[in-house]
Structure 1
Amino acid sequence: MTSFRIIAVAMMGLALAGCSSVDTATRNAPAQVASSGAVPAHQLSYDIRDVRVTVPKTLSVSEANLYLPKADIVWREDAPGDRHAQVKAIFEEAMARGVNGLPQGSVPVVLDIQVTRFHALTEKARYTVGGVHDMEFLLILRHPETGAMLNQPHPVTADLKAFGGRAALDAEARGETQKVRITDHLARVIQTELTSPEGHQAPKNGVLGFLNSI
């Protein structure tokens, strides 16, 4: 299957080819080289000009202390409040950290992250069986001047095994809170998406695969 990065760079070449702004030839150069076959497309790197995170208000929130509430957003480690804003802050920190860890590349883009699911553990699950931090988002590359999409929205599944019971308590004692682990994980996920031809590889069978491994 053609990777997200190969598709993104190919579409970027088409989008930039139609742009008449200053330095067009310079911006086109990486995509043109890739399309000529001189350099594989996945070897290109991005110059991230900005990162924008959106957590739509249409995402449902649950405060029910169940093992698996039916909602798009489940988050308990911050104090009760605007869960959409809290999730947005987590993603913004993670994405910024992940991007800052990359060398400056040759293809200028704006990274548009649209969260579609953020299902961490409830108190009941965290202090008993554990489970999965079930996180999903859309990754979109945009032209830094026009805002035009340079790829189709690319869904990313960023699930992370969540500690439960004694393991959760031990992790907290080490300073490995849910927020710390999730933020570190998301930073690694975005780095992999932007540097690996295969992108981040979600575990087979998704959440069920994680639960079966616990």
Structure 2
Amino acid sequence: MNLIKTIAALTVAAGLSACASSGSSIETATRNATDTGQVVAAELNALSAGWSLADVRVRVPGDLKSSEANRYYPIADIVWREDPFGNRHEQVAKIIDDGITLGLSHLRGDRPVYFDITVSRFHSLTEKARYSVGGVHNIIYTLTVVDAATGLALHGPIKVEAALKAYGGDLAFAAERRGETQKVRIQSHLASLMRKSFNGGQELRVVAKADITPPDAYTGITR
């Protein structure tokens, strides 16, 4: 709970920045929408208006390859170094769970739903890249919204690609001094993507400041 409150507070801070050169997208399963982000966003907003979040259930398959190689770009599905050495699959699952839970906490409808997440890629920075050139936090997962009472899928599966500029060198050190660790930035980015994509019938203009994506991030919804 303290971690989630910290993330929410840091998202408000003017110093928090997200992706400058990379983006995020949600590929919807809706077939009859016209090819505009506004229409797709409106449909997702309408769909989620009656939902309340029962739980976020994150699965990181055991066959995803994790690498500890200190190279600029290891060939692996999972690259994560900010937590102590341990079970990277479990660490990644918690990062995504906390971020998405934060981003969907505004859903207060009458129909409890699960957000089921299956991760296929979580590629952050190695030490070598973190302390020099930086790069991109690249996260890919499949999302399905499930009725908590019946188990029926209400939306999805949809493919989510969340990419966030990863700081390197002096930028990384400065961010850490402000409390903007890699984990905080990734979770804030995931929360912002979910909040804007599943707005639950709310108008974005009345959403709290903590819900606003920082100016150097791009959050898009595409077919």
TM-score scaled by length of structure 2: 0.68
- 2:55 is matched with 50
- 1:120 is matched with 124
SS in 2 for 1:195: coil
If each structure's helix is expressed as a fraction of its own residues, which one has the higher value?
A: 1
Bigger radius of gyration: 1
Gaps in structure 2 of 5+ consecutive residues? 1-26, 32-41, 202-218
Which of 2, 15, 28 is the equivalent residue of 1:4? 28
Which of 149, 155, 160 is the equivalent residue of 1:156? 160
For residues 109-160 of structure 1, the C-alpha deviation after alignment (integer angstroms, 9 at most, x for no partner) is: 2111111110000000011110000011111011212323233310001100
Matched, 1:185 2:209: no
- 1:166 is matched with 170
Q: Residue 58 of structure 2 contacts residue 96 of structure 2 at CA under 8 Å; is this kept in 1?
A: yes
For residues 11-53 of structure 1, the C-alpha deviation after alignment (integer angstroms, 9 at most, x for no partner) is: xxxxxxxxxxxxxxxxxxxxxxxxxxxx967434122222111
If each structure's strand is expressed as a fraction of its own residues, which one has the higher value?
A: 2
SS in 2 for 1:109: strand
| Distance change >3 Å, CA 125–CA 150, structure 1 → 2 | same
Matches of 1:126 and 1:202, distance apart in 2? 29
Q: Residue 73 of structure 1 contacts residue 117 of structure 1 at CA under 8 Å; is this kept in 2?
A: yes
- 2:83 is matched with 78
For residues 181-200 of structure 1, the C-alpha deviation after alignment (integer angstroms, 9 at most, x for no partner) is: 11111111111221299xx4
| Distance change >3 Å, CA 163–CA 64, structure 1 → 2 | same
Question: By how many angstroms is 1:177 displaced?
Answer: 0.8
Question: By how many angstroms is 1:4 displaced?
Answer: 2.7
Q: Residue 28 of structure 2 contacts residue 156 of structure 2 at CA under 8 Å; is this kept in 1?
A: no
Q: Residue 54 of structure 1 contacts residue 88 of structure 1 at CA under 8 Å; is this kept in 2?
A: yes
Choose between structure 1 and 2 for higher RCO, CA contacts under 8 A separated by at least 6 residues.
Answer: 2
How many equivalent residue pairs? 167
The equivalences for 1:90-169 within 5 A come to 90-100=95-105, 102-169=106-173
Question: By how many angstroms is 1:5 displaced?
Answer: 7.7
Question: By how many angstroms is 1:103 displaced?
Answer: 4.1
Q: CA RMSD in A?
A: 2.5
- Give the counterpart letter for 2:187 in structure 1: T
Which of 201, 205, 211 is the equivalent residue of 2:220? 201
Percent identity between the two aligned chains = 46
